């Protein structure tokens, strides 16, 4: 994985702006600590920071290559990601006459573009965000992977295009102000910590949506989709579906275990991570790689304070030990203490360039730091719940029928914590409702489906396109802050496409959430692990965490210079801070964010406004 930045300008001579390009590129050093490079011409400037995973000795970027039949036609690429079908693509291109100087996927991707042009994206299996500059045509082409695992932001100002893996690269340009308008504030306070697809929060900044590509030349900027979910009835029964899911998942896992640097898995003892760990251990045995290293995260004294509830029925510890012993892995248990967790809330904001999932972010940030000490690549079970239907909102009638995003049903609370002035400007209820209507209008349907099937398809689509990006964004930003590459086999587009069209009764085989995945993994996992109820990413249950974030927030509210004060209803926040029920009975976002996370989120907003010196254009 890497960090990319770029600048195309029809009015400026960019060969004179090397210092600005260097400044933008250096903001991505954490994403690519191993090497850096830039490429400059009058109209295009490209920068790259490299994290070496495949062929570390070669593959420096920006990479330049000429067309096969015309050495005067040159193309330059910068690329962040991994292609999992590199070998197949290279073999096909060799048959067409191409020769390769490296074994890295960057060269294969560049040659794929030279040969097939913009249609090359349809052939790619992987996670990626890349840009190719055609020197002769003076044309920039950018694309992002189908599920949006790798980030890509841009800012278009008529005659100029700036882009980068993270907003901080664009904000480093001297002409870009750290401004947020009313719509950006609506994203932060009404939708946050999620984001509307394509929205960059910062004024004038956009995110290239998953499955989309962008072309910029003297005729302007054009954005189009090259991939989207399509509805079609699948007639496979449970046996056939289980066999197909097992085949696709095993193939995805094996492809993503290919690396020239150490690989580990994240192991929680749950169904999703245990499955990938079992497949990885199998691969390590077959390829003679030795024992697989696994990592888990928990919190100091969590065992004393844990209380089972519907969203988190049991603790992970015994299940992690069960799977590590079963697979004979070398396990590393990372434990985070409360003061460190709270202190890292600010670092998590810098990693993301905006407020996030509070301690859910900061814990992953600290967890990634520890993993990086022993590995460069980690395999994670992210996205299985969205794809196979594991979340409560797939199974609870009141959430299924909610006329809003089911992971964020607290519109009353969101409006109540805002100052009356900000509420009038961003109109949070209307904003949420409009974003929800937009999302529902996108849902593809099959003519033959009844109302019940369409309802399940709708909740699945919303989860994949609106909830999952929040978790993928979090995973990328917190891990890449330490130069750790996290791969997500459940996001293999072939698996997603297949499971998306399975009938709901097949997905819930055996009357269980993610039933078809459980059946597919029979013989792969022990029976007790196979039947374990879903348990989400662990969060701290230590009351010291609530006390700490509450006290810090109240102290900030006592400061007359606090930038939060004009934006929030301080009396309401103080009232919530006094209510002991806020720890467990205050829904904010998803399964993990309640009272403590709301207080921590507001702390992150406060730090974000101060650290970035955000100017509010409202």
The answer to whether 240 and 349 are in contact (CB under 8 A) is no
Whether residue 280 contacts residue 524, with contact meaning beta carbons closer than 8 Å, is answered with no
CA-to-CA separations, 275 to 196, 415, 533, 585, in angstroms, rounded: 31, 41, 14, 33
* Cβ(474)–Cβ(589) below 8 Å: no
Tokens of 429: 């209820």
Residues whose CB falls within 8 Å of the CB of residue 176, separated by 6 or more in sequence, listed in order: 155, 162, 170, 204
Return the closest-CA partner of residue 500 out of 451, 450, 462, 448: 462
Neighbours of 174 (CB within 10 A): 10
Q: Which residues contact 102 (CB under 8 A, 6 or more apart)?
A: 55, 58, 59
Residue pair 379/266 in contact (Cβ under 8 Å)? The answer is yes
Token output for 87:
């070998």
Residue 305 DSSP SS3: helix
Largest CA-CA distance found in the chain, in angstroms, rounded: 73
Tell me the C-alpha distance between 300 and 289, whole Å: 33
d(CA 257, CA 284): 9
**404 and 430 Cβ atoms separated by less than 8 Å:** no
Q: Is the dihedral of CA 129, 490, 351, 259 positive or negative?
A: negative
593: phi then psi, degrees, rounded to nearest 5: -105, 110
- How far, in Å, CA of 362 to CA of 368, rounded? 10
First to last CA, the chain: 37
- Do the Cβ atoms of 452 and 127 come closer than 8 Å? no
d(CA 268, CA 333): 10
Q: What is the DSSP letter of 511?
A: G
Catalytic residue at 120?
no
Q: List the alpha helices (DSSP H) in 288-390.
A: 302-305, 317-327, 338-352, 359-372, 384-388
For Cα atoms 210, 214, 218, give the angle at the middle one, nearest 5 degrees: 165
Beta strands at 179-181 and 615-617: parallel, antiparallel or unpaired: parallel
CA–CA distance, 31 with 150 (Å, rounded to integer): 12
144: β partners:
129
Token couple for 13: 């001579």
Catalytic member of 2, 104, 284, 562: 2
459: its two tokens: 């909740």
- How far is residue 504's CA from residue 147's CA, in Å, rounded to a whole number? 22
Torsion over CA: 270, 254, 239, 461 (sign)? positive
Whole-angstrom distance, CA of residue 432 vs CA of residue 141? 33
Q: Locate tokens 């020239």: which residue?
A: 260
Q: Per-residue b/e over 344-366, b at no fewer than 16 CB within 10 Å?
A: bbbbbbbbbbbbbbbbbbbbbbb
Residues with catalytic roles = 2
């Amino acid at each position: 994985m890497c960090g990319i930045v770029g600048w195309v300008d029809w009015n400026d001579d960019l060969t004179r702006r090397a210092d600005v390009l260097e400044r933008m590129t250096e903001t991505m050093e954490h994403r690519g600590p191993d090497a850096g490079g830039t490429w400059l011409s009058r109209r295009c400037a490209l920068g790259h920071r490299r994290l070496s995973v495949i062929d570390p000795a070669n593959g420096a970027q920006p990479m330049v290559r000429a067309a096969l039949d015309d050495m005067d036609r040159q193309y330059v690429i910068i690329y962040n990601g991994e292609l999992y079908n590199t070998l197949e693509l290279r073999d096909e291109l060799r048959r067409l006459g191409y020769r390769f100087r490296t074994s890295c996927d960057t060269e294969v991707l560049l040659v794929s573009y030279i040969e097939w042009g913009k249609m090359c994206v349809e052939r790619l299996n992987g996670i990626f965000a890349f840009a190719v500059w055609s020197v002769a045509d003076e044309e920039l082409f950018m694309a992002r992977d189908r599920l949006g695992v790798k980030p890509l932001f841009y800012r278009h100002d008529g005659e100029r295009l700036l882009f980068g893996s993270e907003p901080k690269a664009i904000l480093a340009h001297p002409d870009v102000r750290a401004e947020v308008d009313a719509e950006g504030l609506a994203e932060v306070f009404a939708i946050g910590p999620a984001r509307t697809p394509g929205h960059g929060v910062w004024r004038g900044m956009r995110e290239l949506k998953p499955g989309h590509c962008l072309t910029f030349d003297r005729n302007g900027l054009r954005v189009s989709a090259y991939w989207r979910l399509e509805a079609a009835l699948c007639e496979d029964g449970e046996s056939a579906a289980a066999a197909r899911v097992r085949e696709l998942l095993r193939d995805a896992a094996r492809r993503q275990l290919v690396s020239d640097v150490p690989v580990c898995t994240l192991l929680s003892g749950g169904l999703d991570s245990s499955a990938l760990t079992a497949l990885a251990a199998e691969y390590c045995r077959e390829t003679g790689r030795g024992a697989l290293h696994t990592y888990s995260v928990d919190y100091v004294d969590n065992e004393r304070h844990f209380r089972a509830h519907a969203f988190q029925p049991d603790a992970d510890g015994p299940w992690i030990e069960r799977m590590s012993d079963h697979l004979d892995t070398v396990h590393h248990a990372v434990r985070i203490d409360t003061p460190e967790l709270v202190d890292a809330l600010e670092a998590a904001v810098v990693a993301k360039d905006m407020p996030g999932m509070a301690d859910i972010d900061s814990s992953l940030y600290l967890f990634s730091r520890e993993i990086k000490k022993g590995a460069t690549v980690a395999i994670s079970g992210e996205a299985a719940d969205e794809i196979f239907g594991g979340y409560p909102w797939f199974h609870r009638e009141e959430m299924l029928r909610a006329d809003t995003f089911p992971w964020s049903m607290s519109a009353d609370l969101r409006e109540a914590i805002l100052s009356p002035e900000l509420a009038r400007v961003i109109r949070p209820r209307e904003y949420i409702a409009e974003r929800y209507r937009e999302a529902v209008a996108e849902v593809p349907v099959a003519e033959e489906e009844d109302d019940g099937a369409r309802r399940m398809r709708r909740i699945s689509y919303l989860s994949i396109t609106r909830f999952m990006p929040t978790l993928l964004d979090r995973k990328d930003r917190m891990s890449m802050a330490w130069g750790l590459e996290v791969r997500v086999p459940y996001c293999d587009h072939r698996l997603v496409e297949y499971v998306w069209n399975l009938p709901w009764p097949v997905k819930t085989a055996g009357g269980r959430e993610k039933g078809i995945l459980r059946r597919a993994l029979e013989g792969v996992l022990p029976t007790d692990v196979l039947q374990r109820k879903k348990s989400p990413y662990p969060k701290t249950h230590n009351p010291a965490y609530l006390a700490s974030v509450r006290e810090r927030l109240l102290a900030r509210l006592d400061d007359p210079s606090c930038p939060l004060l004009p934006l929030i209803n301080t009396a309401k926040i103080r009232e919530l801070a006094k209510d002991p029920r806020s720890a467990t009975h205050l829904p904010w976002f998803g399964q993990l964010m309640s009272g403590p996370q709301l207080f921590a989120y507001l702390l992150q907003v406060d730090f974000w406004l101060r650290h970035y010196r955000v100017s509010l254009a409202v």
